[in-house]
C-alpha cells in the first residue's frame, strides 16, 4: 500500500506525520522524496547505509563538427544554450536533459555525457527501510531522483510504503504522488495553512486520488483548515495537538511513536483510519 503525504508548504508537519506513520506500521518503507531538503533520515538514523549516485544526460559540443548554425540554441526552451563566439556553450545547471538539442543538430555535433545531480541513500531503522533522495545544491530538477527512488517501494501486501513528498504542488510533487493509493494532506490551523491546503487539495482532485486531511498543531478554538474541510466535505483523518512535548521530541529528531506509548497509540489509530479508507476505496472501485 502506497501512501503519499503532502502539504502546500514546508514546516506543516508532513515529515513528522510520514516518519511516525512509517514507524507505527509493522513493516514499512519510508521514501523521502523531499529531495531538496530531505530530513526524515535524521529521525530514523538508519544503519548499514548504501549509497548510489544519480546522473542525468547533459549535452556537449564537438567543435570539429559544429558550424555555428545555432539551431540547438534556438531550440532550447530552457535557455541552457548560448552561442559564445562560434560555438554553443552549455549552462549545465539549467539544462533539463531533454535531449532535444542533440536531435536537432544537423551536423551531429552534439553528444551527451553523464552528470551526477545527487544520490540515493538506503538503510534500515528497526521496522523501517529508509530510502532518501538527495539533490545536489543548484541543480535544476529533482525529478530524475524521484523516478529512481520510487521503484524502491516494497510491493508486498503487508508492507506500508510512506512517500514523504516535497512541499507545494509543482511537478516534482505530481511525480511523487502519481502512483500512490492514497494521499494524506497535512494542514495547519491558520489562514495561511488553509491557503496551502487548498493548493494540495486541488492537486489531488486533479489527479483523481483518494485523499483525507490530518490537522496538525491543533488548539482549542476556531480552525480555518477544519472549517474548509467541513465546507468541502473533506474527510478529516485525525488531529495532532499543538503540544510542547511533541515539539521538543521532534526538535531533538526523535520519533514520537518510539518515545511514548500515547503517541504510538495516536499514530497507530491514524494509520488504522488511513488503511480503512484505502480498503473502502478499493471495495468501491471493484
When the beta carbons of 99 and 168 are compared against ligand SF4, the nearer one is 99
Distance (Å, whole) CA 164 – CA 131: 10
Q: In angstroms, what is the minimal distance from the CB of 109 to ligand SF4? A: 4
Residues lying near ligand SF4 in the complex (CB under 6 A):
59, 61, 66-72, 75-76, 78, 80-81, 88, 90, 95-101, 105, 107, 109-110
Cell output for 268: 497507530
Q: In angstroms, what is the minimal distance from the CB of 52 to ligand SF4? A: 23
Burial class (CB in 10 A: 0-12, 13-18, 19+), 244: exposed
When the beta carbons of 9 and 71 are compared against ligand SF4, the nearer one is 71
Residues near 212 by beta carbon (within 8 Å), at least 6 away in sequence: 182, 183, 184, 185, 234, 235, 236, 237, 273, 274, 277
The alpha carbon of 198 is separated from its chain's Cα centroid by a whole number of angstroms, namely 18
When the beta carbons of 16 and 76 are compared against ligand SF4, the nearer one is 76
Q: In angstroms, what is the minimal distance from the CB of 65 to ligand SF4? A: 7
When the beta carbons of 110 and 249 are compared against ligand SF4, the nearer one is 110
Residues near 97 by beta carbon (within 8 Å), at least 6 away in sequence: 56, 57, 58, 144
Helix (H), strand (E) at residue 237: strand 236-241
Q: In angstroms, what is the minimal distance from the CB of 114 to ligand SF4? A: 13
Q: In angstroms, what is the minimal distance from the CB of 252 to ligand SF4? A: 43
SS3 165: coil
Of 4, 14, 16, 8, the closest CA to residue 243 belongs to: 16
SS3 49: strand
Q: In angstroms, what is the minimal distance from the CB of 136 to ligand SF4? A: 17
Per-residue buried b or exposed e for 221-230, using 16+ beta carbons within 10 Å of the residue's own CB? eebbbbebbe
Amino acid at each position: 500500500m502506497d501512501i503519499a503525504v503532502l502539504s502546500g508548504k514546508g514546516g506543516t508537519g508532513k515529515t513528522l506525520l510520514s516518519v511516525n506513520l512509517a514507524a507505527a506500521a509493522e513493516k514499512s518503507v519510508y521514501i523521502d522524496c523531499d529531495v531538496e531538503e530531505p530530513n526524515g533520515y535524521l529521525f530514523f538514523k538508519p544503519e548499514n547505509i548504501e549509497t548510489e549516485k544519480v546522473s542525468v544526460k547533459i549535452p556537449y559540443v564537438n567543435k570539429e563538427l559544429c558550424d555555428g548554425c545555432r539551431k540547438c540554441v534556438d531550440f532550447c526552451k530552457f535557455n541552457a544554450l548560448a552561442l559564445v563566439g562560434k560555438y554553443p556553450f552549455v549552462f549545465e545547471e539549467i539544462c533539463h536533459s531533454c535531449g532535444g538539442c542533440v536531435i536537432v543538430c544537423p551536423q551531429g555535433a552534439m553528444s551527451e555525457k553523464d552528470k551526477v545531480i545527487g544520490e540515493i541513500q538506503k538503510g534500515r531503522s528497526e521496522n523501517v527501510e529508509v530510502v532518501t533522495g538527495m539533490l545536489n545544491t543548484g541543480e535544476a530538477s529533482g525529478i530524475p531522483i524521484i523516478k529512481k527512488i520510487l521503484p524502491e517501494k516494497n510491493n508486498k501486501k503487508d508492507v506500508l510504503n510512506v512517500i514523504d513528498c516535497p512541499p507545494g504542488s509543482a511537478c516534482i510533487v505530481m511525480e511523487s504522488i502519481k502512483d500512490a493509493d492514497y494521499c494524506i494532506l497535512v494542514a495547519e490551523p491558520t489562514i495561511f495553512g488553509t491557503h496551502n491546503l487548498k493548493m494540495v487539495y486541488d492537486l489531488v482532485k486533479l489527479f483523481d486520488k483518494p485523499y483525507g486531511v490530518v490537522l496538525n498543531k491543533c488548539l482549542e478554538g476556531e480552525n480555518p483548515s477544519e472549517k474548509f474541510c467541513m465546507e468541502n466535505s473533506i474527510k478529516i483523518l485525525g488531529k495532532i495537538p499543538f503540544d510542547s512535548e511533541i515539539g521538543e521530541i521532534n526538535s531533538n529528531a526523535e520519533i514520537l511513536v518510539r518515545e511514548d506509548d500515547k503517541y504510538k497509540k495516536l499514530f497507530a489509530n491514524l494509520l488504522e483510519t488511513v488503511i480503512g479508507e484505502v480498503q473502502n476505496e478499493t471495495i468501491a472501485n471493484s
